[in-house]
C-alpha cells in the first residue's frame, strides 16, 4: 500500500495503512447471511475476509495528528499467523514515505482501544520494556472507553489488551503520563474534533476534520465498510450495542450527506474514501480517488 492524500479545505490529510489482516466474514457482518455479504466481499476457504487497517495522518497547525495505530509489531508469531498479517513496521514505513518519523507525531487519537486500532500505540524498547511508539505525542482516549478496556467483561476481554494503553499512564519523556483522557465530544484543534458514536463500543469516537467549508470524517468502526453505510442493518458481531450502532449510523449518514462530507472507511478492502449520494430513501457511497 501507499499513502493516499486528500485536501480538506486548508488541511492536508493522508490515509496510511498498518497492513491487511483476515477475519471471519460472519463476525464482520453479524447476523447478515453469507449469501448476501459474499456478493460484496468474497471470503477465502476459511470464510475469512480481508480487513484494511487504515489510519489517518492530519497535518494540523498543532503538528501531525495520527488517528489510530493498527495492530503494531508486538503480536506473537502465532497471532500474526492467525491474522495472516505480514511485514514489520508497516505504519512507520508509510509515515516515513510521507517524510515523518514517530518523533514528529504530536497527538495520537484512539477511536477506541480494540487491538487492531491501538496495538501500535506502544512498542518494545531496546531494554525489552514497553514504551510509547510516538514518544513526543499525547494520546487522546475517551474516559469511558478506557474504563471499559481496563475492566472488560467476558464478552469484551478478547478485544482489549492492557499493553496497548496502560503503559501510556506511566512517566515518559519528563511527563507524568502521555495519556490524555477525554470526557465526551472534544474540539482537539480549531479544525479537528472528536464525536462520540456509540454502538461498536460504548464510547467509540469518530474524528472530523472541518476547514474552509469542507468536511471529512474518519469513521473507524462506527462504519467499517462502505456497504454498512448503505445498509444500516449490517452490523458487525463485534458491536456491543448493535441496535445503538444502527441509530448511530443513521444519524451520521444524514449529517454526512447534508455536509457533503468526504468519508474515510478504515477496514474496507476496496474502498478507502467516498461520498454519499441519495435517491429518495436510498443512499449509495461513491468512491473518491
Of all residues in the chain, the percent with pLDDT exceeding 90 is: 95
Write down the pLDDT at residue 170: 80
Domain coordinates of the chain in residue numbers? 4-287
| Cα distances (angstroms) measured from residue 60 to each of 12, 13, 42 | 8, 9, 38
CATH level 3 topology of 4-287: Metallo-beta-lactamase; Chain A (3.60.15)
> Given pLDDT bands bounded at 50, 70 and 90, which one contains residue 1?
low
Mean pLDDT for the chain overall? 96
Cell numbers representing residue 226 in the block: 462502505
* Beta strands at 107-109 and 138-142: parallel, antiparallel or unpaired: parallel
Q: What is the pLDDT of residues 221-249, one digit of tens each?
A: 999 999 999 999 999 999 999 999 999 99
Q: What is the pLDDT of residues 22-76, one digit of tens each?
A: 999 999 999 999 999 999 999 999 999 999 999 999 999 989 999 999 999 999 9
| Three-class HEC string of 169-212 | HCCECCECCCEEEECCCEEEECCEEEEECCCCCCCCEEEEEEEC
Write down the pLDDT at residue 289: 86
Q: Is the pLDDT score of 172 beyond 80? A: no
- CA 54/CA 68 separation, integer angstroms: 8
pTM of the model: 0.96
Amino acid at each position: 500500500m501507499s499513502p493516499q492524500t486528500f485536501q480538506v479545505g486548508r488541511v492536508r490529510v493522508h490515509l496510511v495503512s498498518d497492513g491487511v489482516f483476515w477475519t471471519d466474514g460472519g463476525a464482520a457482518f453479524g447476523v447478515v447471511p453469507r449469501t448476501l455479504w459474499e456478493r460484496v466481499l468474497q471470503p477465502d476457504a476459511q470464510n475469512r475476509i480481508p480487513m484494511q487497517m487504515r489510519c489517518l495522518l492530519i497535518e494540523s497547525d498543532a503538528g501531525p495528528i495520527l488517528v489510530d495505530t493498527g495492530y503494531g509489531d508486538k503480536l506473537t508469531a502465532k497471532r500474526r499467523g492467525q491474522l495472516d498479517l505480514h511485514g514489520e513496521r508497516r505504519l512507520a514505513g508509510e509515515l516515513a514515505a510521507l517524510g515523518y518519523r514517530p518523533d514528529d507525531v504530536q497527538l495520537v487519537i484512539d477511536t477506541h482501544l480494540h487491538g487492531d486500532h491501538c496495538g501500535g500505540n506502544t512498542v518494545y524498547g531496546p531494554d525489552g520494556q514497553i514504551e510509547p511508539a510516538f514518544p513526543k505525542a499525547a494520546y487522546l482516549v475517551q474516559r469511558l472507553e478506557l474504563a471499559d478496556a481496563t475492566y472488560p467483561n467476558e464478552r469484551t476481554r478478547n478485544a482489549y489488551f492492557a499493553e496497548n494503553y496502560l503503559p501510556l499512564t506511566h512517566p515518559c519523556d519528563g511527563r507524568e503520563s502521555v495519556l490524555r483522557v477525554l470526557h465526551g465530544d472534544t474540539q482537539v484543534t480549531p479544525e479537528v474534533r472528536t464525536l462520540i458514536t456509540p454502538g461498536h463500543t460504548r464510547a467509540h469516537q469518530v474524528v472530523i476534520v472541518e476547514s474552509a467549508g469542507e468536511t471529512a470524517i474518519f469513521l473507524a468502526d462506527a462504519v467499517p465498510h462502505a456497504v454498512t453505510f448503505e445498509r444500516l442493518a449490517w452490523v458487525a458481531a463485534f458491536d456491543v450495542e448493535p441496535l445503538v450502532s444502527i441509530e448511530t449510523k443513521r444519524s451520521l449518514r444524514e449529517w454526512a450527506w447534508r455536509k457533503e462530507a468526504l468519508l474515510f472507511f478504515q477496514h474496507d478492502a476496496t474502498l478507502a474514501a467516498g461520498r454519499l449520494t441519495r435517491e429518495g430513501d436510498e443512499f449509495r457511497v461513491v468512491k473518491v480517488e
